[in-house]
Amino acid sequence: MSCDRLCLGIVVLLCWLAGAAVADDVLYKDPNQPVAARVKDLLGRMTMEERIGQMVQIERISVTLDVMRHCFIGSLLSGGGSVPNPHATVVDWINMVNEFQNKSLSMRLGIPMIYGIDVVHGHINVINATIFTHNVGLGAIHGSQVAKTPIQVTDDQEVYLNNQAETERSHVYAVAMVVCSRDGAAKNKAKRNGLDIADNIHRTEQNKSMRRGLESLPVT
């Protein structure tokens, strides 16, 4: 009987080692492989439902852990006022995000979740964080350095928030000022001499702005 148990144990161990070797050989999980190859490998393993879910971002208030699991949600967002609790501390935020992240990592493909936070006026969803005036108020000061201050402070707050986390940083944070152009702003699809001004006149100016690096346009 002891010999049978020993043989069974060896078989189980070998099966486990074989499974671990297969897992280690998964191309998309290998950071040493080219990004394009990893993406291609991952997409080849995904179902249509998983692909759709990964392209969806849901407001945190509207989601549960079960929804994330069944719909394969790829991203969550905390907009203004979307907080773990009314007096959320840094620790509260970390615990909440980690709970969602652990759920994502435990799913079949182990794809990390992207978590977005609305911090256009500073990290105002963290208790005692600095709150800045609306962007139009900053612009009214007519001082470029003043306009840059909120970006730097918010960056510092975000770095601090990540440094307090006990788990590995799970997202890429990029400071950027994304503004909307008013070049060629059209209203009510006005026409002149039979031409659609939005497409034939204003869109030309908007295209010029985009070539200069503009990252968003107004819906006109």
Query: What pLDDT digit, counting tens, does each position of 123-159 carry?
Result: 778 888 878 777 777 777 777 777 777 777 776 766 6
> Can you give the pLDDT at residue 35?
92
4-8, 112-116, 118-122, 201-205: the lowest-pLDDT one: 4-8
Task: Work out the pLDDT band at 199, boundaries 50, 70, 90.
Answer: low
Average confidence (pLDDT) over 21-33: 76
What distance in Å separates the CA atoms of residue 185 and residue 220, rounded to the nearest whole number?
A: 7
What distance in Å separates the CA atoms of residue 98 and residue 105, rounded to the nearest whole number?
A: 10
Q: What is the pTM of this model?
A: 0.60
pLDDT of 170-197, one tens digit each?
444 444 545 555 544 444 444 444 445 5
Average confidence (pLDDT) over 44-59: 92
Q: Pick the residue with more confidence: 41 or 198?
A: 41
